Amino acid sequence: MRIVTWNINSVRKRLPLLLQVMQDLRPDIVCLQEIKGETHVFPSEALQNAGYSHQFVRGMKAYNGVAILSRVPLSGQTATNWVGRDDARHIAALLPGGIELHNFYVPAGGDIPDRTQNEKFAHKLDFMAEMAVWAPRGKDKPRLLVGDLNVAPLPEDVWSHKQLLDVVSHTPVEVEALSRIQEAGGWTDALRQRFPIPERLYSWWSYRAADWAASNRGRRLDHIWLSAPLAGTLRDAGIYKKARGWAEASDHAPVWVDLAL
Q: Digits of tens for pLDDT over the chain (261 positions)? A: 999 999 999 999 999 999 999 999 999 999 999 999 999 999 999 999 999 999 999 999 999 999 999 999 999 999 999 999 999 999 999 999 999 999 999 999 999 999 999 999 999 999 999 999 999 998 999 999 999 999 999 999 999 999 999 999 999 999 999 999 999 999 999 999 999 999 999 999 999 998 999 999 999 999 999 999 999 999 999 999 999 999 999 999 999 999 999
Give me the CATH code for the 2-259 domain, please: 3.60.10.10
Listed in sequence order, the residues at least 6 apart from 105 whose beta carbon sits closer than 8 Å to its beta carbon are 7, 33, 34, 64, 65, 66, 88, 89, 90, 147, 148
User: Structural domain boundaries of the chain?
Assistant: 2-259
The single-letter code of the amino acid at 205 is W
State residue 208's pLDDT score: 93
Region class of 75: left (phi > 0), else alpha (psi between -120 and 50), else beta: beta
Q: Are strands 66-70 and 255-259 parallel, antiparallel or unpaired?
A: unpaired
Strand partners, 224: 146
Cis amide leading into 198 (omega within 30): yes
- Count of CB atoms situated within 10 Å of the CB of 261: 15
| Global confidence as pTM | 0.98
State residue 138's pLDDT score: 87
State residue 215's pLDDT score: 96
State residue 5's pLDDT score: 99
- Sheet with strand 143-148: strands edge to edge: 75-78, 90-95, 99-105, 143-148, 222-226, 188-189
